[in-house]
Structure 1
Amino acid sequence: MNAAVRTLVAALLGALALAAAALPATLPAAALDAAPALRPLGSGEMRWLGFRLYDAQLWVSGTAYQPDQPHALALRYHRGISAARLVDTSVDEMRRLGAADEAQLLRWRAALQQAFPDVAAEEVIVGLHLPGGGAAFWHQGRLTARIDDAEFARLFFAIWLDPRTREPGLRARLLGAGAAR
Structure 2
Amino acid sequence: MYKPGLIILLVFISILFEVQADNNQNVKEEKQAESFKELGFTEVGNAKFTFLFWDIYHSTLYTKSGSYIPENPPAELIFEIEYLKDITAADLLERTIEQWQHLGFSKAQYNQFIPKLKAIWPDIYAGDKLALSVQDNKSIFYFNNLKVGVIERAEFSQLFLAIWLSEKTSEPELKAELLGENIDE
TM over 0.5: yes
Displacement of 1:103 = 4.6
Q: Which of 63, 67, 86 is matched with 2:66 structurally?
A: 63
Runs of 4+ in 1 over 6 A off after TM superposition: none
Instruction: Report the Cα distance in structure 1 between the residues aligned to 2:82 and 2:176, rounded to whole angstroms.
Output: 18
Offset, 1:99: 2.8
Question: Aligned match of 1:138 in 120, 134, 142?
Answer: 142
2: CA distance, partners of 1:28 / 1:119: 24
Other structure's SS at 1:172 match: helix
Structure 1 distance, partners of 2:105, 2:131, is: 22
Shift of 1:104: 4.8
**CA offsets per residue over residues 61-80 of structure 1, 9 Å max, x none?**
10311313311111111110
Residue 32 (structure 1) shift: 8.0
Q: Is the 8 A contact 1:28 1:138 kept in 2?
A: no
Determine which of 131, 147, 158 is the counterpart of 1:154: 158
Q: Deviations over 1:92-143 (max 9, x none)?
A: 222332431x35533211111122111001111111123x713110111111
Higher relative contact order (CA 8 A, sep 6+): 1
Structure 1 equivalent of residue 130 of structure 2: 125
Instruction: Give the unaligned 5+ runs of structure 2.
Output: 1-25
Q: Does the 8 A contact of 1:41 with 1:59 survive in 2? A: yes
Counting helix residues as a fraction of each chain, which structure ranks higher?
2
Structure 1 unaligned residues grouped into runs of 5+: 1-20
Normalised TM-score (structure 1): 0.74
The residue type equivalent to 2:142 in the other structure is W
Match of 2:16 in 1: none
Indicate how the Cα distance of structure 1 residues 51 and 59 shifts in structure 2: closer, same or farther if over 3 A, else same: same
| Structure 2 residue corresponding to 1:107, chosen from 92, 106, 112 | 112
For residues 178 and 24 of structure 1, what CA distance do their matches in structure 2 show? 25
1:84-99 mapped onto 2 (5 Å cutoff)? 84-99=90-105
My pick for the range that moved more, 149-158 or 132-141, is 132-141
CA contact (8 A) 2:46 2:180 kept: yes
Letter paired with 1:116:
W
Percent identical among aligned pairs is 25
Distance 2:132 2:105 in 1: 19
CA distance in 2, matches of 1:27, 1:109: 30
- Choose 1 or 2 for highest CA Rg: 2
SS at match of 1:166: coil
